[in-house]
């Protein structure tokens, strides 16, 4: 049973050594202190992965062992990261650590990558060598890019010239530097792929806060939104009102611009139908799909791109005992790919896994909430909110009739709520 072949001390660094090893397929929570514990392995420490790790520990009254495997040492939040690009926040404001997740909640945080998953043996192999057995595996891999959707982008991105910065971190800083270095009178162009992609309102928020930065510090500069979609995909009327009232002459929106190639020599993007566009800072978001590990493991059974799950417990429809949460799943109607939604997936999954390990019936009526707050300038925010329930006859989630909606108007009150939302959800995920 001991599949852990790498240095135990390294694995257990700073963490309780009790009940380390999962015993595949045969676990009980009913026994005394000496009883073996079920072992859950979580891959990914983002909004989904960190939340499911914490909540499995909490909801099992700290009886189920959780190991979370995440290569990054810090949690850098995508929500609020657009404000770093606009100069309204610093990286330190959106960066948290995993210390409380391990120290307070006893999640065994391992900074490594998963090289492969053996679903038959119920074990994962780590990039640094060694393998870890699991009773339940939760994969929260986020998104990866379909580089071939835009010819030349992979190379231009690797060279650090044309960035997406759609995973907050070093690229966020690099794109901010590009914006800072841009001459006044230059053009920043953001290129949006066809939906679904991570964070539906994110590109429009980014364009807005960069426009606020230009208006403040580089008033002759322009923001150009080049969108593959037929219209703004989220909070359209509210964004367009803000653009008309705040950024006339600074920000321009163009729909139905599907990027097919970039030319790094001239910093030009080419479209399937429309004319080429040259920009000083080119920010191209390629088409997205489930994170690499999900695809490699054969879990991306929706067009090879997203992962179908059983919405009662987020178990993959491709593999038993493997759950997939967050941006990587094939979503239900009205369900955005957002950090808040990933956190909601995680809680339904944690409760279902805890129930299942106890031999209890899984909650037949799970619920999800979502709130996406977008800054349209330094202080004013608009939101979209929804409440979702599982509908047994349709075996999927649906938004609850009459609930949810968007802001009446942009407001600084919602700006303060957005800051509060960020601080609270980061704590809910990590603390």
Partner 1 sequence: MKKSPLPTRRRLRVVAALLAGCGLAVTSSTQAQSQDAQRLRMRSLASTCAQCHGTDGHAVEGEALIRLAGLPADYTLSQLLAFRTGERKATIMHQITKGYSQDQLESLAKYFATQK
Name the site residues for partner 1 (rule: CB under 8 A): 25-28, 30-31, 35-36, 55, 58-59, 310, 312-313, 340, 343-344, 347-348, 351, 354-355, 358-363, 366-369, 371, 383, 385-389, 395, 400, 402-405, 407-408, 411, 413-414, 416-417, 419-421, 423-425, 427-428, 431
The DSSP result for 381-431, as a single string, is EEEEEEEEEEETTTTEEEEPTT--EE-SS-BHHHHHHHHHHHHHHHHHHH-
Q: Do the bridges between strand 39-43 and strand 123-126 make them parallel or antiparallel, or are there none, so unpaired?
A: unpaired
The helix (run of H) or strand (run of E) holding residue 352 is helix 339-358
Nearer to partner 1 by C-beta: 55 or 213?
55
Residue 387 CA from chain centroid, whole number: 19
Q: How far is the CB of 339 from partner 1 (least distance, A)?
A: 9
Q: How far is the CB of 337 from partner 1 (least distance, A)?
A: 16
Nearer to partner 1 by C-beta: 26 or 174?
26
Q: How far is the CB of 134 from partner 1 (least distance, A)?
A: 16
CB–CB of 314/331 below 8 Å? no
Q: How far is the CB of 51 from partner 1 (least distance, A)?
A: 9
Give the Cα separation of 238 and 57 in Å (integer): 40
Give the list of residues 6+ apart from residue 109 with CB closer than 8 angstroms, or none: 15, 45, 68, 70, 98, 101, 102
Give the list of residues 6+ apart from residue 31 with CB closer than 8 angstroms, or none: none
Closest residue by Cα to residue 380 from 235, 199, 190: 235
Residue 137 CA from chain centroid, whole number: 18
Q: How far is the CB of 141 from partner 1 (least distance, A)?
A: 21
Q: Give SS3 for 194.
A: coil
CB–CB of 290/318 below 8 Å? no
What six digits make up the tokens of 121?
């043996």
Q: Do the bridges between strand 315-316 and strand 259-263 make them parallel or antiparallel, or are there none, so unpaired?
A: unpaired
Q: How far is the CB of 358 from partner 1 (least distance, A)?
A: 7
Residue pointed to by tokens 């929804």 = 386
CB–CB of 407/238 below 8 Å? yes
Burial of 183 (0-12, 13-18, 19+ CB in 10 A): exposed
Q: How far is the CB of 28 from partner 1 (least distance, A)?
A: 4
Nearer to partner 1 by C-beta: 66 or 293?
66
Q: How far is the CB of 252 from partner 1 (least distance, A)?
A: 29
Q: Do the bridges between strand 381-391 and strand 367-375 make them parallel or antiparallel, or are there none, so unpaired?
A: antiparallel
Q: How far is the CB of 116 from partner 1 (least distance, A)?
A: 26
Give the Cα separation of 17 and 13 in Å (integer): 9
Nearer to partner 1 by C-beta: 24 or 255?
24
Q: How far is the CB of 423 from partner 1 (least distance, A)?
A: 4
Give the list of residues 6+ apart from residue 174 with CB closer than 8 angstroms, or none: 160, 163, 165
């Amino acid at each position: 049973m001991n599949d852990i072949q790498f240095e135990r001390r390294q694995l257990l660094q700073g963490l309780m050594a009790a009940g380390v090893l999962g015993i595949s397929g045969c676990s009980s929570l009913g026994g005394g202190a000496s009883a073996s514990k079920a072992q859950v392995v979580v891959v990914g420490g983002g909004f989904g992965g960190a939340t499911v790790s914490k909540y499995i520990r909490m909801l099992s009254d700290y009886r189920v062992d959780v190991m979370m495997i995440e290569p990054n040492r810090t949690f850098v939040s995508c929500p609020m990261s657009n404000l770093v690009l606009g100069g309204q926040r610093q990286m330190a404001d959106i960066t948290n650590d995993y210390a409380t997740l391990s120290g307070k909640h006893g999640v065994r945080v391992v900074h490594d990558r998963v090289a492969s998953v053996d679903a038959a043996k119920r074990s994962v192999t780590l990039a640094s060598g060694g393998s870890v057995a699991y009773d339940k595996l939760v994969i929260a891999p986020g998104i990866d890019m379909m580089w071939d959707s835009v010819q030349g982008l992979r190379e231009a991105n690797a060279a650090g010239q044309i960035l997406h910065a759609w995973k907050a971190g070093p690229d966020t800083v690099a794109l901010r530097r590009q914006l800072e270095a841009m001459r006044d009178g230059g053009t920043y162009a953001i290129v949006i792929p066809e939906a679904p992609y991570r964070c539906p309102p994110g590109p429009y928020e980014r364009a807005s806060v960069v426009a606020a930065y230009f208006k403040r510090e580089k008033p002759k500069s322009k923001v150009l939104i080049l969108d593959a979609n037929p219209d703004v995909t989220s909070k359209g009327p509210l964004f367009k009102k803000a653009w008309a009232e705040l950024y006339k002459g600074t920000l321009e929106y163009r729909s139905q611009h599907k990027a097919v190639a970039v030319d790094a020599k001239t910093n030009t993007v080419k479209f399937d139908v429309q004319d080429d566009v040259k920009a000083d800072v080119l920010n191209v978001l390629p088409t997205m799909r489930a994170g690499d590990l999900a695809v490699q493991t054969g879990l991306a059974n929706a067009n090879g791109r997203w992962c179908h799950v059983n919405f009662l417990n987020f178990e993959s429809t491709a593999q038993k005992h493997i759950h997939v949460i967050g941006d990587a799943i094939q979503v239900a109607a009205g369900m955005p790919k957002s950090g808040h939604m990933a956190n909601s997936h995680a809680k339904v999954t944690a409760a279902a896994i805890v129930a299942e390990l106890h031999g209890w019936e899984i909650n037949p009526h799970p619920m999800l909430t979502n709130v996406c707050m977008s800054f349209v300038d330094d202080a004013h925010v608009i939101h979209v909110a929804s409440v979702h329930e599982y509908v047994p006859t349709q075996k999927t989630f649906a938004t609850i009739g009459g609930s949810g909606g968007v802001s009446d108007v942009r407001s600084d009150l919602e700006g303060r709520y957005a800051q509060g939302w960020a601080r609270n959800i980061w704590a809910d995920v990590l603390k």
